[in-house]
Amino acid sequence: MTYSQEYYKNNREKVLKINLRYRLSHKIQIKEKGKIYREKRKEYLKKWNKEYRLRNLEKMKQQNRDYYYKNREKKLEQEHKRYKELRKKQKMLVFQHYGRECKCCGDKNIEFMTIDHINNDGAEHRKKVGGTAHFYSWLIRNKFPEGFQTLCFNCNIAKGIYGVCPHKK
């Protein structure tokens, strides 16, 4: 056993405190060195990580499941937040294209805006697309097709129930 190994063994607590103190006072330098290290070895690390994942696929799946069940509430909250943000971005893109104001009554309150199927085939279309939750992403993926318009919720519901909005009567 070398001198340094023996010293570490006999003074483990002291050495750990010194190392911790050093890491805390040199956070930025250590972070920069790590960044440089990873940048220089980018391709090697990418290959190594891929091989590691393949070798330990079942182990990693189990770790992910365990983590999920231990932190289920937190994960669900994160997913819900991520979904809301994504939906908001998608909605903004769609309204930038189809307009930010109701084509019927002229209301400009974005919280009330919906996208209307001009040909009144919304129910059939939602069955094909997979429901309202996927509708905005479908519009974006299909490059904002014709046959849709912006209506406020009241005008859209009235058009669906009565066939025509009361503003048009």
DSSP state of 15: H
Q: pTM (2 decimals)?
A: 0.59
3-state helix, strand, coil in the chain (%, to 5): 75, 5, 20
Does 131 have pLDDT greater than 80? no
- Average pLDDT over the chain, rounded to whole? 92
Alpha carbons 82 and 88: distance in angstroms, whole number: 10
Would you place residue 73 in the very low, low, confident or very high pLDDT band (cuts 50, 70, 90)?
Answer: very high
The pLDDT tens digits for 21-47 are 999 999 999 999 999 999 999 999 999
Domain boundaries, the chain: 3-55, 73-168
| Average pLDDT estimate for 137-149 | 94
The Cβ-side half-sphere exposure at 143, using a 13 Å CA radius, reads 0
Looking at the chain, the whole-number percentage of residues with pLDDT higher than 70 is: 100
